[in-house]
């Protein structure tokens, strides 16, 4: 058979395709959607909480031995060369902050126990820090607030950083020891555990964009190795804790930030494909298939199986889904579609993506906790809509396909240190005045209470 190619037509088609066509993404007809009827019954079977991380709320003045301390002292690492200082001074104000959490109607709180506070020098435990966390957890329990604890939320002791952190497989042992120590002390009080927060963003920021310590850029190979080591660390922590007293009743989750990337124009697609793969799909595929394949799409010879563990799914009792949005690459930069509204971060509000992410992680057949969801909105003019629409999307997932969601944690209680952006990003339900430490509930945040009602009410 002879193949006739009409070059003129093909060329015209290519010009049309490349120049005009924006690639679409799912969009619901929000004008005809009523979010006011959405309610979640909270009980010990469905938690409603807020989430934070120690460094972000207590700063390096309270955590002087963390790797964030020397990092933020380097010029240019944080917006406007800010230093975190005491941040919101949660370390000393936790009691009144827990009262605020209770006042929002929450029955849960996700927080981190900071490794650098517990083990400021290698092998040396700060007993005052251990007591401090007992006090924090006890204050929560007294108020009927269930703790969910993260053991690595991007930050670790500086001594661990100097040993090469998760770049070296042999260093994993130090992290496992720390986790086992904390579990031994707190396993009777805390049943929900998140060993590692978001392996992918940690790797992206530390080894590709350079926004987090160790500040390496475009080190794709190292990023792959670190991610592999984090997956191994998760499994080892899981197995170690499960074998300890209270291990059986503990629920230990794998915390994934579901961050999808799409191209707006056909020429934006390759960048989106690279980021989607590195940030999202590689890890989801790993959970599904047991094979962590490292590759940089479009770059030949980069595809390599870095790690295999067919049993990984058995190393998690739940999946912790952190979902904020989906990033649209538009003309080589983060953007959005014309009908959409950007948040203060480089992505739009996109509840449809939340629904799709819940659907995607549901296939693992594990209970789901929404371990983070929230909006950076300094003007407070998009927060209310964001909350209403995302909670609508979550409810829809529970109704449409029976998504097994066991709890929802809003990020976050009060404005804090948003990593490289310092205090410039405003994710708080409460506005923080960093001089007076006054917290003020934002107008746009008030609606969140209406969605969560105690089961008995
Ligand atoms: C992180 C938080 C961060 C939030 C908002 C999440 O990926 O776990 O530490 O503050 O995103 O950007």
Digit-coded pLDDT (tens) for 332-388: 999 999 999 999 999 999 999 999 999 999 999 999 999 999 999 999 999 999 999
Tens of pLDDT, residues 134-164 = 999 999 999 999 999 999 999 999 999 999 9
Backbone angles phi, psi at 137, to 5 degrees: -65, -40
Token reading at 115: 């490794």
Distance of alpha carbon 273 from alpha carbon 352, whole angstroms: 20
Distance of alpha carbon 412 from alpha carbon 104, whole angstroms: 12
- Counting ligand 1 atoms within 8 A of each CB, the residue from 254, 418, 423, 425 with the most, and so the one to mutate, is 418
Token reading at 286: 């790993």
Tens of pLDDT, residues 46-99 = 999 999 999 999 999 999 999 999 999 999 999 999 999 999 999 999 999 999
CA angle 114–118–119, rounded 5-degree value: 110
Place of tokens 């989801």: 284
| Residue 137 Cα distances to 182, 237, 409, angstroms | 13, 21, 17
Supply the pTM of this predicted model.
Answer: 0.95
Q: What is the pLDDT of residue 1?
A: 40
Helix residue ranges, H only, 187-219: 199-207
* Paired sense of beta strands 439-441 and 430-432, if any: antiparallel
Question: Nearest to residue 110, comparing CAs of 45, 193, 180, 196?
Answer: 193
Classify burial at 140, counting beta carbons within 10 Å of its beta carbon; exposed 0-12, middle 13-18, buried 19 or more: buried
Going from the Cα of 168 to the center of ligand 1, the distance in angstroms, rounded, reads 25
Question: Nearest to residue 65, comparing CAs of 18, 124, 15?
Answer: 124
Place of tokens 């930069």: 333
Backbone angles phi, psi at 121, to 5 degrees: -120, 155
Going from the Cα of 76 to the center of ligand 1, the distance in angstroms, rounded, reads 20
Going from the Cα of 21 to the center of ligand 1, the distance in angstroms, rounded, reads 33
Tens of pLDDT, residues 98-117 = 999 999 999 999 999 999 99
Going from the Cα of 257 to the center of ligand 1, the distance in angstroms, rounded, reads 9
Q: What is the pLDDT of residue 457?
A: 53
Helix residue ranges, H only, 163-267: 172-186, 199-207, 220-242
Q: What is the pLDDT of residue 20?
A: 55
- Average pLDDT value over all residues in the chain: 95
- Residue 197 alpha carbon, nearest atom of ligand 1: 8
Residue, of 322 and 14, whose pLDDT is higher: 322
User: DSSP label at 4?
Assistant: P
Token reading at 210: 């350079």
Backbone angles phi, psi at 147, to 5 degrees: -85, 140
The answer, yes or no, to whether any atom of ligand 1 lies below 6 A from the CB of 197, is yes
What's the CA dihedral at 178, 184, 187, 192 to 10 degrees? 20
């Amino acid at each position: 058979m002879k193949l006739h190619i009409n070059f003129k037509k093909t060329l015209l088609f290519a010009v049309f395709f490349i120049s005009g066509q924006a690639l679409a993404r799912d969009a619901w007809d929000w004008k005809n959607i009523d979010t006011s009827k959405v309610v979640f019954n909270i009980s010990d079977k469905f938690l409603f909480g807020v989430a934070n991380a120690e460094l972000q709320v207590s700063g390096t003045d309270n955590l002087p031995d963390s790797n964030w301390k020397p990092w933020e002292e380097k010029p240019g690492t944080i917006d406007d060369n800010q230093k975190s200082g005491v941040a919101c001074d949660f370390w000393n104000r936790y009691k009144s902050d827990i009262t605020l959490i209770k006042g929002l109607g929450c029955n849960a709180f996700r927080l981190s126990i900071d490794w650098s506070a517990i083990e400021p020098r290698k092998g040396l435990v700060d007993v005052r820090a251990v007591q401090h966390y007992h006090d924090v957890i006890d204050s929560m329990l007294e108020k009927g607030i269930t703790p969910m604890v993260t053991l690595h939320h991007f930050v670790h002791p500086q001594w661990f950083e100097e040993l090469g952190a998760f770049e070296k497989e042999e260093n994993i042992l130090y992290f496992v020891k720390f986790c086992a120590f904390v579990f031994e002390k707190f396993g009777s009080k805390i049943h929900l555990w998140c060993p590692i927060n978001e392996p992918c963003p940690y790797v992206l920021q530390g080894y590709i964009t350079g926004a987090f310590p160790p500040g390496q850029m475009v080190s794709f190979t190292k990023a792959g190795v670190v991610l592999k080591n984090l997956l191994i660390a998760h499994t080892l922590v899981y197995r170690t804790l499960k074998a300890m007293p209270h291990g059986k009743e503990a629920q230990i989750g794998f915390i994934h930030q579901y961050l999808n990337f799409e191209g707006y124009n056909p020429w934006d697609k390759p960048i989106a494909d690279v980021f989607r793969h590195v940030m999202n799909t590689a890890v989801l595929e790993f959970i599904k298939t047991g094979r962590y394949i490292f590759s940089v799409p479009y770059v030949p010879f980069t595809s390599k199986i870095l790690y295999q563990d067919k049993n990984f799914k058995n190393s998690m009792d739940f999946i912790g889904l952190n979902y904020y949005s989906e990033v649209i690459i538009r003309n080589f930069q983060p953007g959005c579609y014309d009908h959409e509204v950007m948040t203060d971060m480089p992505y739009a509000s996109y509840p449809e993506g939340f629904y799709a992410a819940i659907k995607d992680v549901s296939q693992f057949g594990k209970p789901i906790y929404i371990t983070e969801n929230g909006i950076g909105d300094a003007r407070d003019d998009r927060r209310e809509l964001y909350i209403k629409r995302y909670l609508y999307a979550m409810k829809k997932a529970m109704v449409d396909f029976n998504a097994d969601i066991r709890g929802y944690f809003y990020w976050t209680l009060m404005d804090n240190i948003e990593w490289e952006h310092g205090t410039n990003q405003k994710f708080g339900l409460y506005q923080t005045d960093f001089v007076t430490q006054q917290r003020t509930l934002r107008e746009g945040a008030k609606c969140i209470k209406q969605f969560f009602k105690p089961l008995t009410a």
